[in-house]
Amino acid sequence: MYKIEFKDFFTYSFSLDCVIFGFQNGKIHVLLIKRAMEPFKNKWAIPGDLVYPDEDLAAAANRILVELTNLSMVDLHQAETFGNPNRHPQGRVITSAYMALIRIADFKATPASWAEEVKWQAIDELQELAFDHNAIIQSTYELLKKKMRTEPICFDLLPERFTLNELQCLYEFVYTTTFDKANFRKKLKHIPLIKQTEKQANVKHRPAKLFSFDSQLFQSLITQSEYQFKL
């Protein structure tokens, strides 16, 4: 047994992995990239890379996501940190997951740098991924599910204008249940959502009203009183 010097502790590396969620065809999807580099070359993974020595974490997460997928202006939030000593084959690399919820149609993800391809993959149809990325996605998805109960983040996944049916489908997928249509709508009547007089068009049945979320009103509600979103 020998003593470890202080400098011997500066032999770690630190990375960030971005779990980007979207909603498509009634299912939550995750953004994946195909690695063009060892280790795990040609395997699918979530976009992630090492942090620069003088870089702040939030800024690094954004930089990495842009470099690999050209997705910019995405609102990333920290999730769990993973530090199993064997999670990276080339050394001790600790990683923090950062997550974001985006409208797939409003962004255009394209591969760049050492990302060979990008794709949106349904969360319930994931193959085996590089590193411990399956575990990272799983843990981050659990966090998403928890947050959906108490924060109005569902609207980040839906189009600017959405039908109540779309909203209900999203919640039914995430909570893996079904809700009574009439009661689900009634609940929303009591929430600061603005009913759009505008209606759907080009549908082959009775058109639905379109709704949109008033995030300004929400912001003022939470700062003034202690309003608590719930659904």
Instruction: Compose the 78-117 pattern: x for residues touching a copy of itself by CB under 8 A, - for all others.
Output: x-xx-xxx----xxx-x-x---------------------
- 103 scored as a contact of DNA (CB under 7 A): no
Q: Find the shortest distance in angstroms from Cβ 58 to a copy of itself.
A: 9
Which residue is associated with the tokens 């999807």?
A: 29
Mark the segment that binds DNA (CB under 7 A) among 39-47, 99-107, 116-124, 185-193: 185-193
Which residue is associated with the tokens 């960030």?
A: 16
Distances (CA, A) of 132 to 74, 81, 156, 212: 24, 12, 27, 37
Q: Find the shortest distance in angstroms from Cβ 15 to a copy of itself.
A: 9
- 132 scored as a contact of a copy of itself (CB under 8 A): no
Cα 29 to Cα 14: distance, rounded to the nearest angstrom: 26
* Among residues 181, 198, 215, 219, the one that binds DNA under rule CB under 7 A: 181
Cα 206 to Cα 130: distance, rounded to the nearest angstrom: 46
Distances (CA, A) of 108 to 17, 55, 74, 104, 105: 19, 26, 12, 8, 7
Q: Find the shortest distance in angstroms from Cβ 231 to a copy of itself.
A: 13
Instruction: Compose the 31-50 pattern: x for residues touching a copy of itself by CB under 8 A, - for all others.
Output: -------------------x
* Among residues 27, 57, 134, 153, the one that binds a copy of itself under rule CB under 8 A: 57
Cα 214 to Cα 192: distance, rounded to the nearest angstrom: 7
User: 43 is written with which tokens?
Assistant: 């395997």
From the list DNA, a copy of itself, none, pick the one residue 128 interacts with, judged by a Cβ distance below 5 to 8 Å according to partner type: none
Instruction: Name the helix (H) or strand (E) containing 194.
Output: strand 193-199
Interface with DNA by CB under 7 A: which residues?
163-165, 180-183, 185-187, 190, 199, 203-209, 230
